[in-house]
Structures are given as C-alpha cells and as structure tokens.
Amino acid sequence: MAHSILVFYGSYRSDRMGIRLADYIVARLRGRGEDVELIDAKAVGLPMLDRMYKEYPKGSAPAALEALAARIRAADAFVFVTGEYNWGMQPGLKNLTDHFLEEWFWRPAAVASYSAGRIAGARSGFVWHGTLSEMSMLVISSTLTVGPIAEALDADGKPLGQAGQGLERAFGRFADDLAWWTEAARMQRARKAPPY
C-alpha cells in the first residue's frame, strides 16, 4: 500500500536551485510507488506568521491554511528539502512549518539538505532536526546531503555525473529508512490512538 508523503521546499528566490532536489526526490519516491506531493512554500504563499492555524476559530482560517492543514493531517510522512542561508534555515520554509503544530504529530520526517558548496547545507539540516523533533515528528537518521547542487542535478532534477551517481546511491537507503518508519508509525496509529 502506497504511503502518502509530502515533500516540502521553501526557497522564494527567483533563481532558486533547490527545486532540482525537491523534483528529484518527488520523482524517485513516485518511482517506488509512493503517493507523493510537492508542497512549495513559495506557491502556497502564506504571509509571515500572524496566527497559527489552530488559533483561528474553527472554519475561519484562510483557505490556503485550511487546505494545507488537511494535507498535513492526512499524510503518512514528510520530507524537508532544506537549503542553507548564512548557516541557517530558509525563512520561507520555517514560516510555513510554524503555522502548524498538532497537525505534524506522530509521523516520521526526513531531511534532505543542499547548497551551492561542498558543505551541502549540512548546517541547516542539523538545525531542522531539532525543530522537527520539537514539532513531534520522528526524524529519521538517514539524510541526503547534496553539494554543490549544480554539479549533482540538472535543471530538470536529473542526476549529473559522479555527484549525481553518489546521490542515487544514497537515495535508496534514505528512502528505505523513511519507508520503514512510515509503515511503523502507520501501524501503531492504527493499533493505538496517540496519547495526546
């Protein structure tokens, strides 16, 4: 049975590169038979956080927030594709995630980082681990680290050269790890209601 997986990406830059990695992950997970949707924070276009979703009276949240809350609640797992700005997170993706809390609970999350250089966004990926744990996601230990991203993926998200081959090799374990925890969490939710 396919898992429902949301892939989040949050750069708002006109010349953004990380969309290559987001597209690659979506394509590869679909290739494994998963039911995958890309959530592009720029396309969703939430304003800077004012009220969290849960702070709106029931039925009165803006339509984009209501629709995204329903997609997050219905998902089995999440992948966060994270670039690195000045050793930190990209604000667009952080802003989107902060709009929700309980909607994230009791599902696994995976972090895939990238950057223009050889550090491959690892410092941003490190910060995301703590943040996703705080939001009650189970963060899997396998990561993808892609850098320099322009040497690993072309504009269509297709692997390039040696760096692309390295990404292909790493992807299998990353996806296996996520699938195992996704299945475990889904079985446990079916067996026993979450405690809160």
Ligand X SMILES: Cc1cc2nc3c(=O)[nH]c(=O)nc-3n(C[C@H](O)[C@H](O)[C@H](O)COP(=O)(O)O)c2cc1C
Binding site for ligand X (CB under 6 A): 11, 13, 16-18, 83-87, 115-117, 119
Nearer to ligand X by C-beta: 10 or 159? 10
CB of 24 to ligand X, least distance (A): 13
Long-range contacts of 69-73 (CB under 8 A, 24+ apart): 69/100, 69/103, 71/6, 71/37, 71/39, 72/6, 72/100, 72/103, 72/104, 73/103
CB of 85 to ligand X, least distance (A): 4
Nearer to ligand X by C-beta: 20 or 107? 20
Give the integer Cα–Cα distance in Å for 54 and 193: 21
Q: Length of the chain, please?
A: 196
CB of 104 to ligand X, least distance (A): 22
Nearer to ligand X by C-beta: 19 or 65? 19
For the chain, the farthest-separated pair of C-alpha atoms sits apart, in whole angstroms, at 52
CB of 21 to ligand X, least distance (A): 8
